[in-house]
Structure 1
């Protein structure tokens, strides 16, 4: 407040500028206390929770690993013609992919590099391909579509690989080559073979069931090798001592197996 020359009071008026917004946004980061219960700091709050969940999962996973020993198959046997090798279940979809003509042979680079590379890059770039803040799947078609296509493709290829493998096993069991005679069940060697546990694993006609086929054994092994397999076993599927016959019966069985040759 000021005075003029006459001693009277002079009033001062303050005028606001309407061009300055009173509700203009703040120029500093929002404090998380403004949104209680809706958000949290990434470090250390959110990251600590993720670490705790990961630690619980890791402990549970390692407990299962130590409690259940992995199943081991038979020892590698290059003479076992009834064995059908397949990769582990998590690689079955790639194994099946390489069976198709457009992804194998001259085009094997498509099945081994191009298609897996496209799928990997699509999954890696999914967060940048869709920048929406929506959390509902129906509002996020790009990342959800990529994930669904990937999951369906992996599941379908894995199922196809397993299905074809089962068909191959079924066709291999009980299949006798055209140049191999059907086993004569009235022979003494066959009767010894059937009386022991051999027939349960190798089949009525040596075609192989739970064990490898014995068709053409005489082409692949000597009498000494067959005798050694009978006495000492072979791998975990055929332990020693499974043959319960006498030495004379063992000799007859070995001679009979040596006659099983493919012409």
Structure 2
């Protein structure tokens, strides 16, 4: 026991006097379990990112994103669709338990439970193991979420004719836009019977294709107006024969003008 300035120090043989600096062990002491961040780990991350970026760029060159025309707030027939990464939520709203009277279930409750479960997965399964079979809860929840997203996205995309939609809604250059004669007798008939599906300039919309540049005779146009074609149901036109003749003459005149 030593005295110094009123303080007493007691020595204990059970406490070592050697002090070791708080330095982590060298990577060589963990063979096969870890690696240096620079350059080993960072180089692998960069290579994976580069491969993904090149693949993504090739995909965009092979299949460009279809562009649609300018937004038209007066076109009530246009059916908006979310981007591809939200199609699974869009498809979810088509089910009876997530739509109409249960719409809150589809837009809040089910997505909230799904994303909340993914956030809680690391805390529910916090074992030391990193292999999939050692983390059954986290792996199971992730596989369930991945399968659900893939299936809902596939179901949503399979029910949309993307090529026809892109063709119907593609931008029309100003030089190719037909001038519509609103004074034509058939324009009033078109406005009452066809405008909601085919647009105010016959450029088409979400429910109907463009009527400009169609390779149809006057008789064929009249038959389609009465009997329908493709996704267009019959009996869409309910006017008189005189009004049908005016409508056909209007559509033909617009197409003749666009060819000039």
| TM-score using structure 1 length | 0.51
| 1:122 partnered with 2:143 | no
The gaps in structure 2 that reach 5 residues or longer are 1-12, 162-215
- Whichever of the two has the greater Rg, that structure is 1
SS in 2 for 1:153: helix
Alpha-carbon contact 2:92-2:106 (below 8 Å) kept: yes
| 1:230 partnered with 2:259 | no
Q: Determine the structure 2 residue equivalent to 1:58.
A: 53
Pick closer, same or farther for the CA change 1:79–1:212 going to 2, 3 Å: farther
1: CA distance, partners of 2:71 / 2:81: 13
Pick closer, same or farther for the CA change 1:142–1:216 going to 2, 3 Å: same
Aligned-pair CA distance for 1:57: 1.6
1: CA distance, partners of 2:119 / 2:43: 24
| 1:30 partnered with 2:25 | yes
Pick closer, same or farther for the CA change 1:213–1:73 going to 2, 3 Å: farther
Identify which of 81, 98, 102 aligns with 1:107: 102
1:195-227 Cα offsets, whole Å, 9 max, x none, are xxx79xx96964233889894286899567513
Matches within 5 A, 1:1-263: 28-72=23-67, 86-161=81-156, 193-194=219-220, 206-209=227-230, 215-216=236-237, 222=247, 225-231=250-256, 240=259
Pick closer, same or farther for the CA change 1:60–1:165 going to 2, 3 Å: closer
Q: How many residues align?
A: 186
Pick closer, same or farther for the CA change 1:74–1:103 going to 2, 3 Å: same
Alpha-carbon contact 1:130-1:142 (below 8 Å) kept: yes
The gaps in structure 1 that reach 5 residues or longer are 1-16, 167-189, 234-239, 242-263
Aligned-pair CA distance for 1:132: 2.1
Over the aligned positions, Cα root-mean-square deviation in angstroms equals: 4.6
| TM-score using structure 2 length | 0.51
